[in-house]
Amino acid sequence: MDQRRQRLYRVEGIVLRHSDIGEADRLLTVFTVERGKLRLLAKGVRKILSRKAGHIEPFTYSTFLVAKGRTWDIITQADTIEAYRALRQDLLRTTYAYYVAELVDRFTEEDDASRPTFDLIRDTLSRLCGEDDPYLIVRFFEMRLLSLAGYQPQLFVCVRCRADLEPVTNYFSLADGGVLCPRCGEGIPQAEPLPVNTLKVLRFIQTREYDWVRRLNLKPELRAEVERLLYRYIVYVLERNLRSVDFLWKLRRQMEQAA
Ligand SMILES: [Zn+2]
């Protein structure tokens, strides 16, 4: 193999986000089949009539021919496999797609390949192009992504005493990563009551295939309750893992000690 060949590689992936660099370049975050999340530089794409531009828009599924670079590897060629055009024609679905892309970006590390994560992103975007209820599509996505990232909430046994959960009002603890039985959860400030129906829906989404989940018909209060709980859990998990938050706490401690 000649030298030039070795410096080129091909990946296929879905663009999660991009940011502008300099006059005409764009730095993309792409979740690839072969290598998981990568940051790739697209040079000159903001110049008018760039042939590459359409293939590297957010949520586009493309193949990329990439050249090794010093700071970032550089996209030399891109071709769309699936554009998910319907996502861009409806503001609600566009917004959901941004949310999906952001969560993937936050929950994954660079250069950590995961075929199930790739498949989940692809399936979720393609579902968002269809007629199904985006609420259910996204709840299913959140629950699967949490599991793939290693943060699957425990919904079947009490996270403290390991007893099977009874069909009564239990408690959910963000810090414990799951449900507490009434005996363990009562009186604990960070544990909030979890009604039976909410627990049932969460379990259903966690254990059933999408084909079952898409047929759920939930009352408005229950929808709101499930969404709120999952969202609070996701925010909790992400903040706990944010370097900026660690840094802030460290800084605050140092300031307290100095005072
Ligand atoms: Zn317990």
Look up the pTM and report it: 0.89
Helices 91-107 and 115-128 sit at what angle, rounded to 10 degrees?
A: 170
Polymer length of the chain: 259
**Residue 15 pLDDT > 70:** yes
pLDDT tens digits for range 67-105: 999 899 999 999 999 999 999 898 888 889 999 999 999
Q: What separation in Å is there between the alpha carbon of 81 and the centre of ligand 1? A: 49
pLDDT tens digits for range 211-241: 999 999 999 999 999 999 999 999 999 986 6
Q: What separation in Å is there between the alpha carbon of 231 and the centre of ligand 1? A: 24
| Residues in Cβ contact with 149 at an 8 Å cutoff, skipping those fewer than 6 apart | 107, 108
Nearest Cα neighbor of 13 from 45, 44, 42, 35 is 35
Q: What is the DSSP letter of 164?
A: B
pLDDT tens digits for range 20-67: 998 889 999 999 999 999 999 999 887 766 777 778 889 999 999 999
Q: What separation in Å is there between the alpha carbon of 148 and the centre of ligand 1? A: 26
**Residue 179 pLDDT > 90:** yes
**Residue 202 pLDDT > 70:** yes
Sign of the torsion formed by the C-alpha atoms of 151, 157, 160 and 162: negative
Q: What separation in Å is there between the alpha carbon of 149 and the centre of ligand 1? A: 25
DSSP helix/strand/coil, 115: helix
Q: What separation in Å is there between the alpha carbon of 232 and the centre of ligand 1? A: 22
Task: Kindly list the structural domains of the chain, giving each domain's residue range(s) and its CATH number in brackets, ordered by start.
Answer: 3-84 (2.40.50.140), 132-243 (no CATH)
Contact 38, 111 (CB under 8 A): yes
